[in-house]
Chains A and B, each alone.
Chain A
Amino acid sequence: MSAPAPDAISRQPFRTNWGGRFAMLAVVLYTIYAASHLGFSWDRFVSGLGQGGTFLARMFPPSFERWELLRDGMIESLQIAILASFFGVLLSLPIGLLAARNLMPVWVTWPARLLIALCRSFHPIIIAILFVKAVGFGALAGVLALIVGSIGFVGKLFAEAIEEISLKQVEAVRATGASFFGVLIMAVQPQVLPRFIGFATYQLDSNLRNSTMVGIVGGGGIGATLFTAYQRFDFDFVLTILIVTIAMIMVAEVLSGWIRKTFQ
Chain B
Amino acid sequence: MSAATASLHHEWHRFSLPQKLARYALYLLTVIAVVWSFRTIEIIPEFLYDSPAQIADLFVRMWPMDWNYFFAEVWKALVETLHIATLGTILSLAFAIPLGFMAARNLTPLPALNLLGHFLFVTSRSVNSLVWALLFVAIFGPGPLAGTLAIAFRSIGFVGKLFAEAIEEAHRGPIEALTAAGAPVPSQIVMGYWPQVRPAFWSIVLFRWDINIRESAVLGLVGAGGIGVALDSALSLLYWDQVSVVLLTIFVVVILAELVVTTIRKRVL
Binding site for B on A (CB under 8 A): 14, 27, 30-31, 34-35, 37-40, 44-45, 48-49, 51-52, 55, 75-76, 78-80, 82-83, 86, 117, 121-123, 125-126, 129-130, 133-140, 143, 190, 209-210, 212-213, 216-217, 220, 226-227, 230, 235, 242, 245-246, 249-250, 253, 259, 262-263
Contacts and interface: CB of A to CB of B under 8 A. Distances in A.
Interface in B28-58: 30, 33-34, 36-38, 40-44, 47-48, 50-51, 54-55, 58
Interface in B3-51: 14, 19, 22-23, 26, 30, 33-34, 36-38, 40-44, 47-48, 50-51
Contact of B30 (A86, A137, A143, A217): A86
Interface string B229-267: 001000100000000000100110011001000000000
B97 interface: no
Given A44-B145, A134-B55, A136-B50, A246 B126 contact: yes
B105 interface: no
B269 interface: no
Interface stretch (B63-71, B107-115, B214-222): B214-222
B37 A83 contact: yes
Contacts, number: 162
Contacts of B188: none
A86 B34 contact: yes
B225 interface: yes
B209 to A, nearest CB: 13
B51 A34 contact: no
Given A40-B145, A52-B139, A249 B126 contact: yes
Contact of B139 (A55, A138, A209): A55
A37 B231 CA distance: 21
A253 B221 contact: no
Contact of A216 (B34, B126, B130, B138): B130
